[in-house]
Amino acid sequence: MKIGIIVHSQSGHTLLVGEKLREKLQNGGHEVTLERFQNTEPPEGPQKPEHIRLDHIPNAAGYDALIFGAWVQAFNLCPGFHLYLKQIPDFDTNNVSCFVTEQFPYKWMGGSRALSKMKQFLEEKGAKISASGVINWGNKKRDQQIDKLVARFSSQYQT
């Protein structure tokens, strides 16, 4: 199966989860592409959605399955991910999973809301969400959260 993992990662936390997913899926015999995009340096002052620029727009076409990752900003989905989705065509696969990472220790501190927004935006592009999750970077059990998410996501693609 050809799987695309596309992550919007500034600090590298979301990218790390994407890398663990890629490793697990490749070990399962899948052809996996991981692509990271990020915001370019923001203008001076507050980072408003209308001022965000992305370093590039990853292509989401041509995959049997897609996994998206993004981060929580100000208790909501980072606006750069929404900007990315506005710039790509609707998906040619409906087999989509998604996750968010947040600094706070509990998903109710913005992660749940961000994930809900992410799902909404992906569904507007034609996605059918098969799995989702929140990784709480400040939680003592972060590594277990990542392992569980990787196992749950990868179990969907067992051959």
The residues facing 95 across adjacent strands are 128
C-alpha to C-alpha distance for 159 and 157, rounded to whole angstroms = 6
3-state secondary structure 52-116: CCECCCCCCCCCCEEEEEEEEECCEECHHHHHHHHCCCCCCCCEEEEEEEECCCCHHHCHHHHHH
Question: What is the predicted pLDDT for the residue at 74?
Answer: 85
Tens-place pLDDT, residues 9-64: 988 999 999 999 999 999 999 999 999 999 886 555 456 667 788 899 999 999 99
HSE (CB half, 13 Å, CA atoms) of 1? Answer: 20
The model's pTM: 0.93
Q: What local confidence, expressed as pLDDT, does residue 151 receive?
A: 96
Q: What is the dihedral of CA 51, 53, 59, 61, to 10 degrees?
A: 0
Q: What percent of the chain has a predicted confidence (pLDDT) above 70?
A: 93
Which residue type sits at 92? Answer: D
Which helix H or strand E contains 7, and what residues bound it?
Answer: strand 2-8
Average pLDDT over residues 122-139: 93
Return the pLDDT at 41.
Answer: 67
**With bands split at pLDDT 50, 70 and 90, how would you rate the model's confidence at 83?**
very high
- Residue 153, number of CB atoms within 10 A of its CB: 25
- From 3, 11, 13, select the one nearest 100 (Cα to Cα): 13
Average pLDDT over residues 108-114: 87
Q: What is the pLDDT of residue 42?
A: 59
- When pLDDT is averaged across residues 120-149 and rounded to a whole number, the result is 94
- At residue 49, the pLDDT reads 66
**Domains of the chain, first to last:** 2-155 (3.40.50.360)
Mean pLDDT along residues 96-123 = 90
